[in-house]
Amino acid sequence: MKTKVGIIGGGPSGLMLSQLLDLKGIDNVVLEKHTRDYVLGRIRAGVLEHGFAELMREAQCGERMDAEGEIHEGFYIAENNEKKRVDLAGHTGGNSVVVYGQTELTRDLYDARAAMNGKVIHEALDVKPHDINTKNPYLTYRQGDETFRIDCDFIIGADGFHGVSRKSIPKDVLKEYEKVYPFGWLGVLSRTKPVSPELIYAKSDRGFALCSLRSQVLSRYYIQVPLTDSTDDWSDEAFWDELKARLPDDVAANLETGPSIEKSIAPLRSFVAEPMRYGNMFLAGDAAHIVPPTGARGLNSAASDIYYLYHGLVDHYLKGDDTGLDSYSDRALARVWKAQRFSWWMTTLLHSFPDAIPYDRKLQQTDLEYLFSSEAAMTSLAENYVGLPF
């Protein structure tokens, strides 16, 4: 098979790029190792920046998001039995975020790909990029006992943190930066009414907690847990009791509990791989960078990668201009590192660190007090949370 752009990974990054390119008549193929249902079974992000929402609309996939997603113009930070509101719109000239689950937006992208007869190949095993530092790169993959080859102009590694693309860049070229946090997030999805109309990020001596939602009948909650914990250590009752213990009394009193329909623990790490281009292979999304989800930057960092790649590829094929592709890595990394900083800052501000010394805890306290006493500090938080410009 021959195509223009071979995309490894059928998550939001790969599907979004595939859809945008197809709409411009740029032929592409997506190779996804799992089934569609497996990909849709993963519960991940919940908050979309303005830029991501705009890309969904440009990809002609924004209809259900606009109908079912919720516009949020603020959120709360809770501590010491009270909560204070972060006014996103008031500090960003009216900007906001859309609360709409990654599962649903990935479903919308899959449906749009199917409607356009997009080439998304599932259960593509042992995908390997070849000759990536030449003008004729190609992909191979296996289905059953048969091996297939796809010749392309460019390869996009949108295969997530554990994918094959980043590992295909020579070790003497690739530079990796990583910070692992000494705790994880235990997440629960429940068919219950959300405890708050806007998200609540809670800092407590017992650990961090987050009250989020997917709709008015589907709630998403998280608590910080030690890395040694497993979901077997947490019954639903134990989870609800601990969540309540970390929330202000008036919030805890209104918490509607119910059976968990999903329960998982995600480790927290900050990670960046440089460069995000090697030869004619480009990395995008989690294949190149990971953030702790405290700042809701994970999926949203993928959005700007896709935006830059999309415009670079369109300029290459429709105008013969390679400026966008040649500047991709530097341009994408400049925004990625700002999301890294913000996610590290939010995580450091709100979590209980097991090895923290009293001085660290005083700094956390001071940072929070400064945040709520300074327009400049609040504006900085707000402009990062709604998403810095692409």
Residues near ligand PHB (CB under 6 A) are 45-47, 199, 212, 220, 293-296
Residue 247's CB is within 10 A of a number of other CB atoms, namely 23
266 contact choice in ligand PHB, ligand FAS, none (CB below 5 to 8 Å, kind-dependent): ligand FAS
Scored b (16 or more CB within 10 A) or e, 366-376 reads: eebeebeeeee
The Cα–Cα gap between 211 and 219 comes to 8
Can residue 129 be called a binding residue for ligand FAS (CB under 6 A)? no
| 147-151: long-range pairs with CB below 8 Å, 24+ | 148/1, 149/1, 150/1, 150/2, 150/3, 150/6, 150/29, 150/31, 151/1, 151/2, 151/3
8 contact choice in ligand FAS, ligand PHB, none (CB below 5 to 8 Å, kind-dependent): ligand FAS
Among 5, 29, 31, 272, binds ligand FAS (CB under 6 A): 31
**Residue 329, amino acid:** S
294 contact choice in ligand FAS, ligand PHB, none (CB below 5 to 8 Å, kind-dependent): ligand PHB
285 contact choice in ligand FAS, ligand PHB, none (CB below 5 to 8 Å, kind-dependent): ligand FAS
Rg (CA), the chain: 21
Can residue 299 be called a binding residue for ligand FAS (CB under 6 A)? yes
Among 59, 77, 202, 302, binds ligand FAS (CB under 6 A): 302
Among 51, 74, 118, 160, binds ligand FAS (CB under 6 A): 160
- Please identify, using beta-carbon distances, which residue of 62 and 292 lies nearer to ligand FAS: 292
DSSP string, 231-281: GGG--HHHHHHHHHHTS-HHHHHTPPP--EEEEEEEEEEEEEEE-SEETTE
39 contact choice in ligand PHB, ligand FAS, none (CB below 5 to 8 Å, kind-dependent): ligand FAS
CB of 298 to ligand PHB, least distance (A): 8
The Cα–Cα gap between 287 and 9 comes to 9
Can residue 12 be called a binding residue for ligand FAS (CB under 6 A)? yes
Contact partners, residue 248, CB within 8 Å, separation at least 6: 78, 81, 82, 83, 202
Can residue 157 be called a binding residue for ligand FAS (CB under 6 A)? no
- Please identify, using beta-carbon distances, which residue of 296 and 378 lies nearer to ligand FAS: 296
Number of helices (H) and strands (E), helices first, in the chain? 13, 20
Can residue 46 be called a binding residue for ligand FAS (CB under 6 A)? yes
Which region, judged by CB under 6 A, interacts with ligand FAS, from 78-86, 194-202, 255-263, 297-305? 297-305
Q: What are phi and psi of 20, to 5 degrees?
A: -65, -40
Among 6, 157, 293, 312, binds ligand FAS (CB under 6 A): 293
Can residue 122 be called a binding residue for ligand FAS (CB under 6 A)? no
Which region, judged by CB under 6 A, interacts with ligand FAS, from 130-138, 291-299, 319-327, 337-345? 291-299
- Please identify, using beta-carbon distances, which residue of 45 and 59 lies nearer to ligand FAS: 45
Instruction: Please choose, from the candidates 319, 323, 334, the residue with its C-alpha nearest in 3D space to the C-alpha of residue 276.
Output: 334
Burial class (CB in 10 A: 0-12, 13-18, 19+), 200: buried
CB of 20 to ligand FAS, least distance (A): 14
**Residue 290, amino acid:** I
Residue 197 β-bridge partners? none
Which parts of this chain interact with ligand FAS (CB under 6 A)? Answer: 8-14, 31-34, 39, 44-46, 102, 124, 127, 158-160, 163-164, 266, 285-286, 293, 296-300, 302
